[in-house]
Structure 1
Amino acid sequence: MAHVQKFTKGNMQGLSIHLDRKTENHSNEDIDNERTHLNYDLCEKEGDTLSRMNERLDEVYCMDRKDVKACCEWVVTLPESLKDASHEHQRTFFENTYEFLSDRYGGEQNVISANVHNDETTPHMHFDFIPVVWDAKKEREKVSAKEVLTRAELKNFHTELDRHLKERIPEIYQEGILNDKTIGIENIHSLKKHSAEIEEQKKVMAADLKRFKKPKDVFDKVDGNAEKKTVGIMNKKEVVVLLKKDYENLGVLAKSSIKSDYQFENYKSVAENKIGDLEKSKKGLEGKIERLEQKNTYLEREKQLIKSDKIHQQRNAVVYKSILEDKEPDLEISESEFKGRLILHSLERDGMPKDKAEGLNWLEILEENKINQTIPQNRLGKAMDKLKSFLEKFIKRVKTADFSLDGLKEKDKEINQQTKRKKSKSYDMER
């Protein structure tokens, strides 16, 4: 049997005194000082538990907080079946347990103590270790008891230790780690979680017991008061004579039984209907799951296609870059051409300016590239036509199709002036 504990750095001073038997004045009355020499430490490192802990903590990251659990401890008790075994067999048990624990928690570098105490009531080992995990994000080792001693870890620990010992030392160990005292952590959590439900069930059962106890008391009383007689001369019959009150009580019980049967049938009918509804709901959910799985398959296929296309585009980019480097090793472009090509790229893929001001700015940049002939004229012309069509909705009352940059700016200025005059005229009329 084994149980686990977690300790802060502040706890380790006192724990080290207990583990390493640094004093003969123990608060634990079960410790027999005359047998302390039988103790041994399977962790054969220099120093005591405390110094080993500090040495390992200097090598890894540990949050500087008093409540951080810097050390964990499994206490493994010698199984009942090995209490009468030789010291050699007992040591073999603890050595194989140490091997299992050491491998499980990051190797001997994390072990700071494995003291086997033979001077108490039952031999046991204190396996103390630093709970170290790898922090992939920051690429370093860190202390995290929460990540090491997870719920799954605690649930599986005893079973896996039991299996390990059976495989390694079958001639010594057959059973003992798992016994009727070993309660999985899941069971404990479940009991706590459902304690309210358990209490409610207890109340219902108590009420049922009370209801059934009352009829039994009535029957016992009636049976005690009943008088059995034999009547008739030729055709003798045995009859039971009841008191009137007892007869009436039996009638009440009979009616109560009929009522209970009726209620039971109602409850049964309601339960069957609920089961039917649940079955329908289950079928609906199964259909929904099937549709989601089909959708997931489709999305996975789409994802693969996109990934394949991305790889293709990346390969093309590498090839074209290589070609450019070979043909134009000293290729440099002006800032105007750089901006122009970005705008061209956007327009050729149906991208548009966010507003009129940006549209005019784009047109100005393209006009400049047209004059400088830095971009092929056919591509530039198509892009400018598309941009002018976009800007046309902002330039109202255009009589002549003057789509040059100066023409568009002039029309825009004219419209703004007309708008101001209208607002001024409207204001004068209101006055």
Structure 2
Amino acid sequence: MASVQKFTAKAVPWELKHIERTIANPTNKDIDFRKTPLNYSLIPQREMSSYEYFKKRKSQLSCYNRADVKVLAGWVVTAPQDLPIEKHKIFFQSVYDFLTNRYGIENTIQAMVHNDESGQPHLHYLFTPVTADKKKGGFKICANEVITRQELRSFHPDLQTYLKSVGINATIQSGITKAQGGNKSVRTLKIERNIKHEQEQKFIIINNRSYDNNRGRW
């Protein structure tokens, strides 16, 4: 249903270009560019780019000056399979509201709904992981203190509760394992699709060899 990643400062520009579809020559085979116009952003109108806003917000916070520091985090939330298509927009808007309440609208860098990739539509929500600086005062960037094990355990149940409170009845946690066909992340769907493709290619190769060995007879 949802998965989270953390990014260093060096990775931020590429990640933003990827989800905003501004990469000059994209190589992602999962994208159907005919559907790219169906993608949309949920963030409020700003007088600067997402990357400029990220740099501005980062400059307002305490942050270690190391290349390995994770300065951006991102949730990918996939539309549940039991959710009618006509309710996708209100679902993603509600998820966005939940996330901004949780992590802060001021820390929200981008929130992009993708309808142009394989699998279910999904939301990319990128934010600066901000927490109180108990030693120096003020606020700091610290992904490890924001994306904790407790946060990972509570995220899905909290999201499920919130969605129900706003009248959205969709299966966030179905109790069905992924192996049994439960909710799957976009990454999982891509991996499964690639495995299926590889198996199909092996099947074709094996059958072609059988055809050759039998001198053109099946």
TM-score between the two structures when normalised by the length of structure 1: 0.39
More strand by share: 2
Over 3 Å counting, the alpha-carbon distance change for 1:149 and 1:57 in structure 2 is same
Shift of 1:55: 1.2
Alignment partner of 1:115 is 2:99: no
Q: Which runs of 5+ in 1 are unaligned?
A: 184-431
1:48 aligns with 2:49: yes
Q: What does the per-residue CA deviation read over 1:144-183, in whole Å, with 9 as the maximum and x for residues that have no partner?
A: 00110111110111011011101112xxx32321132479
Q: Which has the higher contact order (CA 8 A, sep 6+)?
A: 2
The aligned counterpart of 2:129 is 131
User: CA–CA distance in 1 between the matches of 2:110 and 2:155?
Assistant: 19
Q: What is the alpha-carbon distance in structure 2 between the residues aligned to residue 19 and residue 52 of structure 1? A: 16
Q: CA deviation at 1:131?
A: 0.5
Q: What is the DSSP-based 3-state SS (H/G/I as helix, E as strand, rest coil) of the residue aligned with 2:85?
A: coil
- Tell me the CA shift for residue 100 of structure 1: 0.6
Q: Deviations over 1:341-365 (max 9, x none)?
A: xxxxxxxxxxxxxxxxxxxxxxxxx
Give the percent of matched residue pairs that are identical in Structure 1 and Structure 2: 40
Contact kept in structure 2, 1:135 and 1:141, CA below 8 Å? yes
Q: Distance in 2 between matches of 1:69 and 1:45?
A: 26
Q: Deviations over 1:59-104 (max 9, x none)?
A: 111111000000000000011012x422xx2110001101111111
Distance 1:178 1:58, change over 3 A: same
Structure 1 position 160 matched with structure 2 position 161? no
SS at match of 2:35: helix
**2:69 aligned partner, one-letter code:** V
What residue number does 2:27 align with? Answer: 27
1:148 corresponds in structure 2 to: 146
User: Is the Cα contact below 8 Å between 1:8 and 1:68 reproduced in 2?
Assistant: yes
Structure 2 distance, partners of 1:145, 1:182, is 27
What is the deviation of 1:26?
2.2
Matched, 1:2 2:11: no
Q: Which residue of 2 aligns with 1:60?
A: 61
Aligned AA (1:95): Q
Counterpart residue type for residue 8 of structure 2: T
Structure 2 runs not aligned, ≥5 long: 180-218
Quick check: 1:20–1:49 contact (8 Å CA) kept in 2?
no
Which structure has the larger Rg over C-alpha atoms? 1
- Counting helix residues as a fraction of each chain, which structure ranks higher? 1
- Where does residue 178 of structure 1 map in the other structure? 173
Report SS of the residue matched to 1:113. strand
Q: Deviations over 1:205-232 (max 9, x none)?
A: xxxxxxxxxxxxxxxxxxxxxxxxxxxx
Does the 8 Å contact 1:16/1:48 carry over to 2? Answer: no
1:391 paired residue number: none
